[in-house]
């Protein structure tokens, strides 16, 4: 079945929240059960809410699914002060969104940067997290993965066609997805980019690169305590088998420090799994079923 976006039928409601610094943050709200905590999806560094379209349609309407555009991405406002592009700011934005929607707690689904934001929230306001899924991220990141991100972050490339954009995306991410074909790269380009004034460009504020390149991708603190705070909640960690960002050694340490967490590896996949892979779907389905069993009364 075609997705709601592909079929021209919007499966979600667009919403905006006015943040404390007068910026507007966009989110997608997919309808679902009010008996279960909603799924709150947080995307990666240069990505946006479109990354979770297939995921959201899979789990709605059993779950309400809310997908955020972090400030500076997608349909959210760009921040005139680039220094505010950091995980702690994003964490505050997410809490403001939950407050505005009257949501006490959610099941966080964080890819890459979104996972770092989730860990920050676990360390500061843990009662807002019912459970969490971390997608190819943890408290220790590999330098090789960060270096790869640095090669393209903030490069305001322009393309004359979607095929040209797809080729650029394939060149950038090819090692992470060795089994992708042309249709996969075109789909990724349409998620990553937007068309404006007759050109196609990446759909984020290039200024997000400034604090990343000066302060680094995570706060200059020991982030293992943040992970341990999150590990007090039901937790699933997903890792791409050939990920250059979440290394096998760090993933093993996470498993050792959080023996109750669930863990899945997605074969022949790098950073970051799209969560549509059969192994990812199976792991997420199983994890969510354990959460549903705790909430729904047995028949």
Domain that holds residue 90: 4-143+218-295
Q: Is residue 259 part of a domain?
A: yes
Total tally of structural domains belonging to the chain: 1
CA dist list (Å): 130 to 20, 89, 191, 235: 25, 21, 28, 10
- How many CA atoms are closer than 13 Å to the CA of 161, on its beta-carbon side? 3
pLDDT at residue 9 in the model = 67
Q: Is residue 195 part of a domain?
A: no
Length of the chain: 299
Q: Is residue 35 part of a domain?
A: yes
Q: Is residue 84 part of a domain?
A: yes
Q: Is residue 235 part of a domain?
A: yes
DSSP annotation of 16: E
Express each pLDDT in 122-133 by its tens digit. 999 999 999 999
Q: Is residue 14 part of a domain?
A: yes
Q: Tell me whether strands 39-42 and 158-159 are parallel, antiparallel or unpaired.
A: unpaired
Strands (E), 31-116: 39-42, 65-68, 106-111
Q: Is residue 155 part of a domain?
A: no
pLDDT at residue 218 in the model = 62
**CATH code at position 250:** 3.40.50.1820
For the cut 90, the answer to whether the pLDDT of residue 77 exceeds it is yes
Q: Is residue 150 part of a domain?
A: no
DSSP annotation of 267: T
pLDDT at residue 299 in the model = 43
Express each pLDDT in 247-273 by its tens digit. 999 999 999 999 999 999 999 999 999
For the cut 90, the answer to whether the pLDDT of residue 5 exceeds it is no
pLDDT at residue 216 in the model = 64
């Amino acid at each position: 079945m075609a997705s709601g976006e592909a079929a021209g039928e919007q499966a979600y409601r667009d919403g905006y929240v006015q943040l404390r610094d007068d910026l507007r943050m966009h989110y997608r709200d997919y309808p679902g059960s009010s008996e279960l905590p909603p799924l709150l999806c947080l995307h990666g560094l240069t990505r946006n809410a479109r990354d979770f379209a297939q995921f959201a349609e899979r789990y709605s309407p059993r779950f309400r699914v809310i997908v955020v555009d972090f400030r500076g991405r997608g349909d959210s406002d760009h921040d005139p002060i680039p220094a505010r592009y950091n995980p702690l700011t994003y964490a505050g934005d997410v809490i403001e969104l939950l407050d505005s929607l009257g949501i006490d707690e959610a099941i966080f689904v964080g890819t890459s940067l979104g996972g770092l934001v989730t860990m920050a929230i676990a360390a500061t306001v843990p009662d807002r997290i019912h459970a969490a899924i971390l997608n190819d991220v943890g408290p220790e990141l590999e330098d090789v993965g960060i270096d790869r991100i640095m090669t393209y972050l903030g490069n305001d490339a322009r393309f004359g066609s979607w095929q040209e954009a797809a080729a650029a995306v394939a060149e950038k991410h090819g090692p992470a997805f060795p089994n992708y074909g042309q249709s996969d790269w075109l789909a990724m380009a349409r998620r990553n980019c937007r068309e404006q004034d007759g050109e196609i460009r990446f759909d984020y504020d290039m200024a997000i690169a400034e604090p990343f390149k000066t302060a680094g991708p995570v706060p200059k603190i020991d982030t293992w305590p943040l992970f341990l705070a999150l590990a007090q909640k039901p937790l699933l960690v997903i890792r791409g088998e050939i990920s250059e960002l979440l290394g096998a050694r760090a993933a093993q340490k996470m498993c050792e420090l959080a023996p109750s967490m669930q863990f899945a590896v997605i074969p022949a996949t790098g950073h970051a799994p799209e969560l549509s892979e059969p192994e990812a779907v199976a792991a997420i389905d199983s994890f969510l079923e354990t959460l549903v069993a705790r909430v729904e009364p047995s028949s």
